[in-house]
Amino acid sequence: MYKDLSFDELTQLENEIKKQYEDFKSQNLKLDMSRGKPCLEQLELSKGMLDTINSKSSLISKDGIDCLNYGGVDGLKETKEFFSQLLDVPFANVIVGGNSSLTMMFDYISQCYLRGSGGKPWGKMDKVKFLCPVPGYDRHFAICEYFGIEMVNVPMLSTGPDMDIVEELVKDDAVKGMVCVPKYSNPTGVTYSDDTVKRLSAMETASDFRIIWDNAYCIHHLSSNHDSLLDLLGECKNAGNPDRAIMVASLSKVTFPGSGVAVLAASENNIKMIKERLSVQTIGPDKINQIRHTEFFDGIDNVHKHMEKHAQIIAPRFDVVLKAFNKELRPHGIASWEEPNGGYFISLDVLDGCAKRVYELCKDAGVTLTECGATYPYGKDPFDRNIRIAPTFPSVEELEKATQLLCVCVKLASIEKLKMI
């Protein structure tokens, strides 16, 4: 353990590790571990979908809608059925959207600002606060910031957000929502426990409090060892708070990022309000892309098989990073992390005050990490300790090299820190 070493021992170690660092630097690396996007092999898995629909296809939906023409504001019948099964929520609670679940969230919050979520329009309130489990997803925080929502950090535990704190904070009537990735969470990889979901569903809140449940990685397992997540919509209904849950998901990382299909599931009341908006905001989503997806998969079983192929490609990448961390960092007590069963990230906590230094050291040696602070509201990590690792896009070889360098940088930054104590 580094913390047990004397100043002189640390200095000696520092000199050794500096040599390793300089060696990396001389290699003029140019590697990127910052991008949470699928790699080329993953994209290849779905290329067949581009042949599913062609000029010979009939393109009449199950309920008789011509997918080539106007009509159908909330999605094709077969695509709604598809998502109803995939998310295990009733058909009537599903709206199929365009290509982006982020947009469905943004537009929902925009709607709350103009029309309210069930009470007064949020835009007419002095202050709107959201709970943000941290570390969390930078794009969620960006949405909140765009609308001027005051974000309140809630620490993530291995069971999800610290519910004792959540239950206390929601007593404040200005707290109108929480936004989170409940399964294979971005970035920690944690899945919310049954107890967490039940408490989120049942806790006392303002009547127009909403949980934006971004189930982005619901089927993105890394192995046959699947986490399971309770259905928030059902739990909220059972707890007498049916309108609390706004769930979204998408096929962006199932087929093609940017050209997938997004979905929203919510209570009848919420669906009604959202459809009211949609019927003004659009003449309808891209139905050809919906039928392209449902025909390509032809059932939920095939989606799960498809996701297994994704796992075969990306699991080895996660292994590279986790093995290196276990070998290089664990013995020295200078970092902690979760070993996720799914999702797209590994969340590395280094010693407090060291994340920016690690980032800079990596950058100077040619490895790009996610910007420090990105996993916290307003880009401010109060402990300067969290680093989000995105292992899916680089090749295994690149990742091995980048992770080795990262470990060297963590060691160096840790020693510098410990020498100052």
Site for a copy of itself, rule CB under 8 A: 35, 37-38, 40, 43, 46-51, 53-55, 57, 66-72, 98-100, 102-103, 106-107, 110, 113-114, 123, 139, 142-143, 145-147, 252, 256-259, 277, 279-289
Which of 59, 391, 78 lies closest to 261 in space, CA to CA? 78
Which of 95, 114, 140 lies closest to 278 in space, CA to CA? 95
DSSP 111-158: HHHHH-SSSS-GGGSS--EEEEEES--HHHHHHHHHHTPEEEEEEEEB
Closest to a copy of itself by CB, 202 vs 288, is 288
- Residue 151 CA to residue 377 CA, distance in Å, equals 6
Closest distance to a copy of itself from the beta carbon of 131 (Å): 19
Closest distance to a copy of itself from the beta carbon of 176 (Å): 16
- Residue 372 CA to residue 310 CA, distance in Å, equals 28
- Bridge partners (DSSP) listed for residue 250: 262
Note the Cα 172 to chain centre separation in Å. Answer: 27
Closest to a copy of itself by CB, 69 vs 158, is 69
Q: ∠ CA 258-310-300 to the nearest 5 degrees?
A: 80
Closest distance to a copy of itself from the beta carbon of 237 (Å): 28
Closest distance to a copy of itself from the beta carbon of 256 (Å): 5
> If DSSP codes are grouped into helix, strand and coil, which group holds residue 78?
helix
Closest to a copy of itself by CB, 200 vs 274, is 274
- Residue 369 CA to residue 36 CA, distance in Å, equals 11
- Residue 57 CA to residue 48 CA, distance in Å, equals 15
Closest to a copy of itself by CB, 282 vs 302, is 282
* Cβ atoms 261, 290 nearer than 8 A: yes
Q: Which tokens sit at 77?
A: 């019948």
Closest to a copy of itself by CB, 389 vs 409, is 389
The four Cα atoms 178, 392, 264, 102 give a dihedral, to 10 degrees, of 70
Closest to a copy of itself by CB, 85 vs 103, is 103
Closest distance to a copy of itself from the beta carbon of 51 (Å): 5
Closest distance to a copy of itself from the beta carbon of 46 (Å): 8
Closest to a copy of itself by CB, 150 vs 167, is 150
Closest to a copy of itself by CB, 83 vs 137, is 137
Amino acid at 9: E
In the block, which residue shows the tokens 């449902």? 294
Closest distance to a copy of itself from the beta carbon of 77 (Å): 15
Q: Which tokens sit at 300?
A: 């939920």
Closest distance to a copy of itself from the beta carbon of 339 (Å): 26
- Residue 119 CA to residue 19 CA, distance in Å, equals 62
Distances (CA, A) of 9 to 6, 165, 334: 5, 41, 16
Closest to a copy of itself by CB, 67 vs 87, is 67
Closest distance to a copy of itself from the beta carbon of 321 (Å): 21
